Amino acid sequence: MVTASLSSPDPSAVAPRLSLQCEAIATDTSTIRSLDWERSRFDIEFGLRNGTTYNSFLVRGERTALIDTSHAKFRDTWIPLLQEQIDPKAIDVLIVSHTEPDHSGLIGDLIDLKPDIEIVGSKVALQFLKDQVHRPFSSRAVKSGETLDLGTNADSGMHHCIEFLSAPNLHWPDTIFSFDHGTGILYTCDAFGLHYCSDDVFDRDPGAIAPDFRFYYDCLMGPNARSVLQALKRMDGLPEINTIAVGHGPLLRHHLSHWVSDYREWSGQRSKGESYAAVCYLSQYGFSDRISQAIAHGIGKADAQVQLVDLRATDPQELTALIGDAKAVVAPTWPAQPDSELQASIGTLLAALHPKQLVGVYDAFGGNDEPIDAVADQLRSQGQKQAFAPLRIRQLPQGNDYQRCEESGTDLGQLLTKAKTIAAMKSLDGELDKALGRISGGLYVVTASQGEGESSRRSAMVASWVSQASFKPPGLTVAVAKDRAIEALMQVGDRFVLNVLRQDNHQQLLRHFLKRFPPGADRFSGVNVLDNAADGGPVLSEALAYLGCRVEQRMEGPDHWIIYAVVEQGNVSDSDASTAVHHRKVGNHY
Ligand SMILES: Cc1cc2nc3c(=O)[nH]c(=O)nc-3n(C[C@H](O)[C@H](O)[C@H](O)COP(=O)(O)O)c2cc1C
């Protein structure tokens, strides 16, 4: 294994820690992994906790293929390391799984080193690439079932024939998977990936990576669950896959069937039922893709179905069907001067809308957008109801903008699932419901905050489903409904504060925190808090006690996450006062 460290691991160093790793993973096949240890939260998707990696692969048959490159930030070391592995002139083909800059950032450099390299990708990927690299290149567009024969490696005797699978929307419109019939490796780039940075090339420790695997699915793949199922069906037609070589995180080999069945199960659950929200975006335009993901993630939290729709890459017939069948449609602001193809798509979108739909709009922040109110007017021209207030973004989107978008999505999701939620509450048997209601608890306010300044996010919720769960180390569980805003800040490794309310003084705090807050609102406005008393969140000045906690595990229940946290610190303000107690009458309310 070659490991090249690019900067000092000194935690006080300002430069982010980047390193490279190069290792053989199968016959004639090696990976170059770019390890980005500290890529911060909200930098790409919303929720990175463990850095990330960008993985590329070299497959050597009679001819040699490179699968994906790396992020431009690795330019100074990735290219020399590649050159140590192979003379770039000897790379015949570059397979581009999709054109997101974290995998395609060094393609231009590669073309400079090997001008006649053949670039293989989906038709859409090759179109996007032209705008990215600004250099001529030779290319071949491929779709499902087509193959690239690399021939037989003279030393190993293995024949490497790559079969392609179209996997649109996973999570980009231009994605292809590549399957090497020689080694049984499927290269999927974003799909099945996770943002997790470690030296482990493979999934040796499934427990360590499972929370990030799930989080990544929820954010990026869940909103395209139908497309995931289609891709899985295509994968079923392949011979046995022994490794999924992902573009982010450890490669999946030791627990492969477990990860694949997770995708099958989660996507199956998310594709049940007909009514869904179509969340449109414009790939490679402003912040439209990231913002649409935040909204879609929020909708999914409320157990509502969602479908991401790329207005640039969806053909008119499919677009008409996806928009026409949706219960709610969310769209970005589009360029004030769209090209003719986009103009046609916008026309198709507007023509497919109907008055019974809820519609929402967000700023794509693309540079020269049509004003958001003008777009909202066009979307509501037939009297459609507003799904949420227009999501205006006035500066480069920050953590709190994504929070507002996610919470708007959750509000919309709750509207879409209202009938289902009411029916579920009514279905409890009367006596059982009363008996369950005899379970009582204390009254608490959970608070959490992350990030600094403009990019900070903070939230709070009233909780009574709280219980001590371990002595050594001291630990507790909180049951957090899946659609709670604060849930986003209670992932494994996150810190939060449990504020214990006083029996003789809790009504005002309860009233305050039980208000319905608009998306992104500061829930602490008007409340006395101590910001630096504990790690993880504000301490309420009027609380009886506080406990500073770190999330250790999350167990998934049907409608709540059972969050187990280790208590790291705590203090009591009045040893004589007692904790507020919450007695209930029925089990189907808190
Ligand atoms: C007495 C009481 C106890 C509650 N306990 C919990 C709880 O343990 N877990 C939870 O997820 N929600 C609980 N809730 C509901 C949330 O506190 C409340 O709906 C929340 O503030 C709304 O936040 P949201 O906008 O993030 O959904 C409780 C509500 C009440 C009235």
Please report the beta strands in 234-389, taking only residues with DSSP state E, as ranges in sequence order.
243-246, 276-281, 305-310, 328-332, 358-362, 385-386
| The pLDDT value given to residue 422 | 84
Tell me the per-residue pLDDT of 253-306, one tens digit each, with 9 for 90 and over: 999 999 999 999 999 998 887 789 999 999 889 999 899 999 999 999 999 999
**Residue with CA closest to ligand 1 atom 16:** 462
The CATH number assigned to the domain with range 273-421 reads 3.40.50.360
Is pLDDT of 470 > 50? yes
Asked whether 284 and 256 are in contact (CB, 8 A), the reply is: no
Label residue 192 left, alpha or beta by phi (over 0 means left) and psi (-120 to 50 means alpha). left
Q: Domain-by-domain residue ranges, the chain?
A: 2-269, 273-421, 439-582
**Index of the ligand 1 atom closest to the CA of residue 516:** 25
* Residue keyed to tokens 């953590």: 399
Say how many CA atoms lie within 13 Å of 37 toward its Cβ.
17
Could you tell me the distance, in angstroms and rounded to a whole number, from the CA of residue 461 to the centre of ligand 1?
6
Residues linked to residue 450 through DSSP beta bridges, in sequence order: 457
Percentage of the chain beyond pLDDT 70 is: 96
- Of 514, 554, 562, the residue with max ligand 1 atoms within 8 A of its CB, to mutate for a pocket test, comes to 514
Q: Which of 45-65 are b and which e, b meaning 16 or more Cβ less than 10 Å from the residue's Cβ? A: bbbbebbbbbbbbbbbbebbb
Strand order in the sheet with 93-95: 2-5, 18-26, 29-36, 52-60, 64-67, 93-95, 118-121, 138-141
Ligand 1 in reach of 510 Cβ (< 6 A): no
Is pLDDT of 111 > 70? yes
Question: What predicted TM-score, i.e. pTM, was given to this entire model?
Answer: 0.86
Is pLDDT of 97 > 60? yes
- Of 404, 457, 464, the residue with max ligand 1 atoms within 8 A of its CB, to mutate for a pocket test, comes to 464
**Residue with CA closest to ligand 1 atom 10:** 480
Give the separation between CA 535 and CA 264, rounded to whole angstroms: 38
* Residue keyed to tokens 């906690």: 549
**Nearest in space to 300 (alpha carbons), one of 422, 412, 169:** 412
**Index of the ligand 1 atom closest to the CA of residue 514:** 21
Is pLDDT of 451 > 70? yes
What three-state secondary structure class fits 33?
Answer: strand
User: Two tokens at 495?
Assistant: 């810190």
| The pLDDT value given to residue 16 | 67
Give the separation between CA 350 and CA 500, rounded to whole angstroms: 51
What three-state secondary structure class fits 125?
Answer: helix
Give the separation between CA 168 and CA 532, rounded to whole angstroms: 46
* Residue keyed to tokens 């009679």: 62
CATH of 439-582, one of 1.20.58.220, 1.10.300.10, 3.40.50.1860, 2.30.110.10: 2.30.110.10
- Mean pLDDT lowest for which of 171-180, 181-190, 247-256? 171-180
Ligand 1 in reach of 460 Cβ (< 6 A): no
**Index of the ligand 1 atom closest to the CA of residue 517:** 25
Tell me the per-residue pLDDT of 411-427, one tens digit each, with 9 for 90 and over: 999 999 998 888 877 77
| The pLDDT value given to residue 8 | 36
CB proximity list for 491: less than 8 A, separation 6 or greater: 47, 49, 211, 215, 551, 554
The pLDDT confidence band at residue 5, using thresholds 50, 70 and 90, is very low
Could you tell me the distance, in angstroms and rounded to a whole number, from the CA of residue 296 to the centre of ligand 1?
22
The H-assigned helical ranges of 185-224 are 206-216
Query: Which one is predicted more confidently, 420 or 439?
Result: 439
**Residue with CA closest to ligand 1 atom 12:** 463
User: Two tokens at 284?
Assistant: 């490679």
Ligand 1 in reach of 439 Cβ (< 6 A): no
Could you tell me the distance, in angstroms and rounded to a whole number, from the CA of residue 503 to the centre of ligand 1?
18
Asked whether 524 and 510 are in contact (CB, 8 A), the reply is: no
**Residue with CA closest to ligand 1 atom 2:** 590
| CATH 3.60.15.10, applies to 2-269 | yes
Burial classification of residue 517, based on how many CB atoms lie within 10 Å of its CB (0-12 exposed, 13-18 middle, 19 or more buried): middle
Ligand 1 in reach of 582 Cβ (< 6 A): yes
Residues linked to residue 251 through DSSP beta bridges, in sequence order: 202
| The pLDDT value given to residue 24 | 98
Ligand 1 in reach of 513 Cβ (< 6 A): yes
- Of 406, 457, 484, the residue with max ligand 1 atoms within 8 A of its CB, to mutate for a pocket test, comes to 484
- Of 388, 403, 439, 462, the residue with max ligand 1 atoms within 8 A of its CB, to mutate for a pocket test, comes to 462
**Residue with CA closest to ligand 1 atom 4:** 463
**Mean of all residue pLDDT scores within the chain:** 92
The pLDDT confidence band at residue 1, using thresholds 50, 70 and 90, is very low
**Index of the ligand 1 atom closest to the CA of residue 487:** 26
Give the separation between CA 447 and CA 189, rounded to whole angstroms: 36
| The pLDDT value given to residue 291 | 94
The pLDDT confidence band at residue 171, using thresholds 50, 70 and 90, is confident
Percentage of the chain beyond pLDDT 90 is: 81
| The pLDDT value given to residue 424 | 79
The mean pLDDT value for 52-58 works out to: 96
Q: How many CB atoms within 10 Å of residue 493?
A: 11
Is pLDDT of 444 > 90? yes
User: Two tokens at 448?
Assistant: 């959490």
Tell me the per-residue pLDDT of 64-85, one tens digit each, with 9 for 90 and over: 999 999 999 999 999 999 999 9
The single-letter code of the amino acid at 480 is V
